[in-house]
Structure 1
Amino acid sequence: MRTTTQRHHDTPHGPALRVPSWNALLAIASGLAARTGRAGQGREVSWMLSARPSAVPSARRMTAARLTAWGLREHAATVQLLVGELVCDTLGRGATTIRLALGLEEGLLRVEVEGGGLQPGPDPYQPVLARLACCWGVAGQVAWFELPTSGPCAPH
């Protein structure tokens, strides 16, 4: 006698489709817009992310796509690392929403991560930010950092 096992998410016609999270869809749309030149020439952008674990990789992908669209691919790895640290910490402190904002002005990139509903806590990313960012800080529910995109780092 032959038996078959069917997992709960399979249908008689094959595996069920998995719907991507809001964060994943946002990252896909942002990446497509950047690759097709539809991201605009504006030097400021912000996204609202769901406070879910998928926010971390989605924030990293959106950041990389936008920096590439702005001609700043060489800064993507550092900025992705820092964005991931800030978003992860924001999730860990109980944020109900997360806003990621990037702004580029006169050779300086500013990144802000704001977490609505955050519980106060220590800044575990301080050593990473101090080593990689030009300057950084926390104001209320917003953690931010700045990186020069040309020339040496000067304190602001």
Structure 2
Amino acid sequence: MPAMLQPHIEHGNAAGQQPTLRLLSWNGLLAMGDGLAVRTGWAGQDRSVSWLLWARPSAVPSARRMTAVRLSAWGLCEHTGNADLLVGALVADALRHATARVRLSLWFEDDLLRCEIEDDRPTLAFTASRHKATDHGDHGHNPLLARLACCWGVAGKVVWFELVTGDRACQHA
């Protein structure tokens, strides 16, 4: 069996403790396979990528890992921190509403990194009640978006943000 598909066995530390078996999730396998594809040169040259993640808690660390690997492959290591925070928060938010899957897409073009997160729920991403302004003025959305992203928005069931990666001036709304 290929090493990537073998279960991970952790041996007990204390005397008499039984080893535990920990299987990788589908999302974990997807992230591992994507990282391998980038390291071997099979992927990473394209400036756009999209993944379909199962709506499970493992989607958040897998999405963060895949984003970091792609940004590194694209030479955008200095933007990994902000992208990591934003992707993790938005995928976690999408998991609260998704029924089966969440799509994460990244594009890098003209000194601009764009990320889109889409869930598979049958209704729109943000209802009118969620658009009401809160005490902090974040309009019901994650406050990280306003602080870290150059621009962001909601289009149907897609929440997106952009990060400026070059000398282009950032125009915050």
Q: 1:107 aligns with which of 93, 111, 126?
A: 111
User: Structure 1 residues 102, 114: closer, same or farther in 2, change over 3 A?
Assistant: same
Cα shift at 1:16: 5.9
- Residue matched to 1:92: 96
Q: Is contact 1:21–1:54 with CA below 8 Å preserved after alignment?
A: yes
Cα RMSD after superposing both structures: 2.0
Gaps of 5+ in 2: 1-17, 131-138
Q: 1:41 aligns with which of 42, 45, 63?
A: 45
Q: Is contact 1:111–1:146 with CA below 8 Å preserved after alignment?
A: yes
Cα shift at 1:19: 2.1
Q: Please list the CA deviations of residues 39-70 of structure 1 after superposition, one character each: whole Å capped at 9, or x if unmatched.
A: 14110000000000000000000000000000
1:1-156 correspondence runs (5 A)? 15=19, 17-117=21-121, 120-121=125-126, 122=130, 124-151=140-167, 152-154=169-171
Gaps of 5+ in 1: 1-13
SS at match of 2:22: coil
Q: Distance in 2 between matches of 1:155 and 1:97?
A: 31
Q: Distance in 2 between matches of 1:63 and 1:148?
A: 16
**Equivalent residues, number:** 143
SS at match of 1:76: helix
Identity value in percent: 57
- Residue matched to 2:8: none
Cα shift at 1:154: 3.5
